[in-house]
Amino acid sequence: MKNIISGALIGVANLVPGISGGTIAVILGIYEKLVKTIADLTKFKLNKEQFKFITTVGMGLSIALLLGAKLMNLALDKATGFTYSAFFGLILGTIPFLLKNLGKVRFDYILVGIFLFLFVENIQFSFTASGAFLPFAGFIAAFAMVMPGLSGSLVMLVFGVYDTVIKAVSTLNLPVLIPFGVGVVSGIAVCAIFMKYLYERFPEITKNFVFGLVAASLLKIQPFDKQVFTWYGYVLTFCIMSICFVVSLWFTKQTKRP
């Protein structure tokens, strides 16, 4: 059940522009295990435990994507700032946990992560969401989904395919979902292999780099430019952030240190 819930949270995060599914996996303490399992899956070398893990996480993620698309659109449309407040508090609460797991702090690699995030945030493209382009957009978006701090939904927005794909998920529009899905599966596999290599060969550097990505994502997720608040709206925003911060802080304290 825990893996299903974890998968569902990752799925919900991937529906929100600016929120990273990889970051949520880091928060839940399953990121390294997840990328290693996906990488082994591409080589058809899963053991029984890995098969059970990836199946249950995938089940939760699929349910969240299918059922959560409309609900998340509603929340972002009707209560944008408050929704982002919850995500901001959740991610902020993981910072102490991530700092403890860095080992030696390497500010140079933290800065690389921050600059990469800011670079991706400020890229502007103009594309047509055509059948030929959808696999490429899916590949890049999936790569971002796996990388902590980077948002697959944000990449979809940058490429101009977010609305098309979200509507396709809600209506099960297969002519859009199939080519996009092919790109997503390929992107997840390639990025998982890449991240597994980094964690195995350069664990300290990789953890500092990932920390930079997660920390920088707070700039995008902060709620104060998402809607206009009244004074009591600001009070409610800080209450939501505080509650989610405490919940996240408590949750990460229960998570075993990798």
Query: Greater confidence, 38 or 255?
Result: 38
For position 243, what pLDDT does the model report? 92
Q: At 236, is the secondary structure helix, strand, or coil?
A: helix
Half-sphere exposure of 22 (CA within 13 A, CB side): 27
Structure tokens that stand for 104 in this block: 């030696």
State how far the Cα of 110 lies from the Cα of 127, in Å rounded to an integer: 32
Cα torsion for 62, 64, 65, 66, to the nearest 10°?
Answer: 80
Structure tokens that stand for 10 in this block: 């990752």
Structure tokens that stand for 113 in this block: 């992560």
Q: Provide the residue ranges of all domains of the chain, joining segments of one domain with +.
A: 2-254
Percent of the chain with pLDDT over 70: 86
Distances (CA, A) of 54 to 36, 62, 78, 129, 246: 10, 12, 34, 30, 29
Half-sphere exposure of 13 (CA within 13 A, CB side): 33
Who contacts 155 (Cβ-Cβ below 8 Å, separation ≥6)? 120, 137, 140, 141, 144
CB atoms within 10 A of CB 118: 12
| Residues, the chain | 258
For position 258, what pLDDT does the model report? 45
Q: 147: closest CA among 126, 111, 120?
A: 120
CB 212 within 8 A of CB 110: yes
pLDDT band, residue 18 (cuts 50/70/90): low
**Which residue type is seen at 18?**
G
Segment 163-174, tens digit of pLDDT: 778 778 777 788
Residue 237 has pLDDT above 80, yes or no: yes
Q: What is the mean pLDDT of residues 14-27?
A: 72
Residue 19 has pLDDT above 50, yes or no: yes
pTM of the model: 0.63
